[in-house]
Amino acid sequence: MKVLVADEISKSGLEMLRAEGYEVDVKTGLDEAELSSVIDDYEVLIVRSATKATRKVIESSRLRVIGRAGIGVDNIDVAAATERGILVMNAPSGNVVSTAELTIGVIFALARRIAEADASMRRGEWKRKEFKGTQVAGKTLGIVGLGRVGAEVAKRAAALGTTVIAYDPLVSPEVGVKLHVRLVSLERLLQESDFVSMHTPLTPQTKDLIGRNELAKMKKTAVIINCARGGVVNEDALFEALSQKAIAGAALDVYIKEPPKDSPLLTLPNIVLTPHLGATTLEAQEEVGAEIAEQIIAYLKDNVIKNAINLPAELDPEIVPYMPIAEKLGTLTSQLGQCSAGKIEVSCRGELAQKDIRIITASVMTGMLKAMSEEHNVNYINAVELAKDRGIEVVSSTSDEAGQYKNLIRVLLNANGETTSAAGTLYLDKGPRIVEINGSIVDIEPEGNFLLIGHEDKPGMIGSVGTVLGSNDVNIASMEVARKKARGPATMILHIDEELSPETLEKVRAIPNLKSATYIRL
């Protein structure tokens, strides 16, 4: 396994990867063309904010995972990665405190005009009266985006004696109460705040979130801080507002283009500018490097996924144990159907009905497409989209009723007017089990080689099948017969030790009174 580290991370992170036997190359400062030319040699790419994992880079690769040592992923084409089944994960915890502390630091720098006073002193001046500042205590801080960093800023700001208000449409009132923050609309936040601090990711919805109209709503004595992502505050509008003294000041740690060469903002005296220092502390670098390395190792070794950006749903620890049986059900139904699917229905019953089951549906489709298609990198990330690209309708449903089971996952494959189905569950004592095939009750451990035979339940059928398999050196490990009534339609399920050759399968199908014979590999 080869890992390319395209931006600097901590030594501890590199050592963790190498200790697992991965071949780690550190190549920093690569542009798109340079990165595209070498990326095909690697399965893992680790970046911070400088390197751009563009569509061209991603489509030139055979990557399995892209790790962002930090929070924001706007330098990664997540859509392109998702299409190719590449897991994108970030390390959101390691630099939270450092970024929050920088925010508090620039608030004081603006309030007390520290940068301007320092520059004046270095020019040999002593102009105390010109640098009269304001107290932070007693003022109102408006936080736009109450995620991890925003919450940490709120805690620190409250300790400074400020009133904290926040705008975040995704945060519940309960979170606001817990943080002692009053939730308000964006318009009201801009009107009431003395300090406005941005803490949102850069998305199509947040790009230019603060523009001319928004800046015009702020107090003339107010300042705005952006230590989040470049582009959240429109830089042209900000330059106008600062030049015209429509607001008192600003602080930027992030920019649309980094570094911001030739930006007119560099010419203004009422702005504090830092070169994307939010995560640039010894502690943060150590933590994000180790955090992303640990996550990548867990994913590659044990398929444990944490902080994934492009999974269809967050990984609920109560749902994760059901993902393997869901994938097996997809594999089973695809092989039973023996034709291209038109519609797949995934039903989760019991306690699972109260959960977000999108990852269960993705697991089913992963197992199904691995068996049905030539795609080499089908996984939870891209399976549902790949199915839709093939014209397969994917439907999910839930029900509290699971019969005798605590939880039950049922998969129905509809194609050419026929329906194939299978259901499975997870027992605490026995683990995953397939408990139903085409309406018949079974109890199968979903691992190994199986021969499923449809027949009329008549004397001699088991012997006839056993004779053909024995004469072709196929050993039967176990067998069960699923039937609804004696001497009616039945399904014989044989767990066999060896793979079944096409020639032997044809001999089985030639047995009189046998309706079907399907070889299944799980």
Q: Give the pLDDT confidence of 390-427 residue by residue, as tens digits.
A: 678 899 999 999 889 999 999 998 876 788 899 999 99
End-to-end CA distance of the chain: give it in Å, rounded.
26
CATH 3.40.50.720 in the chain, residue ranges: 2-92+284-302, 96-273
User: Taking the CA atoms of the chain, what radius of gyration do you get in angstroms?
Assistant: 30
CATH of the structural domain 2-92+284-302, one choice from 3.40.30.10, 3.40.1190.20, 3.40.50.720, 3.40.718.10 = 3.40.50.720
pLDDT band at 377 (very low <50, low <70, confident <90, very high): low
Distance of alpha carbon 468 from alpha carbon 478, whole angstroms? 16
CATH of domain 448-522: 3.30.70.260
Domain at 314-446: CATH architecture: 2-Layer Sandwich (3.30)
pLDDT band at 61 (very low <50, low <70, confident <90, very high): very high
pLDDT, residue 374, reads 47
- The residues carrying an active-site annotation are 229, 258, 276
The whole-number average pLDDT for the span 450-455 is: 90
Q: Please answer whether residues 412 and 421 qualify as being in contact, where contact means their C-beta atoms are separated by less than 8 angstroms.
A: yes
Burial of 301 (0-12, 13-18, 19+ CB in 10 A): exposed
Alpha carbon 483 to its chain centroid, in Å, reads 43
Instruction: Write out the H or E segment, with its range, that includes residue 408.
Output: strand 407-415
Task: With 0.75 as the threshold, say if the pTM is over it.
Answer: no
In the structure encoding, which two tokens stand for residue 232, read together? Answer: 């959240």
Residue 260: is its pLDDT beyond 70? yes
Distance of alpha carbon 278 from alpha carbon 467, whole angstroms? 72
Largest Cα–Cα distance in the chain? Answer: 108
Burial of 417 (0-12, 13-18, 19+ CB in 10 A): exposed
Question: SS3 for 292?
Answer: helix
Domain at 96-273: CATH architecture: 3-Layer(aba) Sandwich (3.40)
* Residue 104 burial (CB count, 10 A): 20
243-to-19, 264, 270, 373 alpha-carbon distances in Å: 54, 10, 9, 60
pLDDT band at 338 (very low <50, low <70, confident <90, very high): low
The residue among 342 and 4 whose pLDDT is bigger is 4
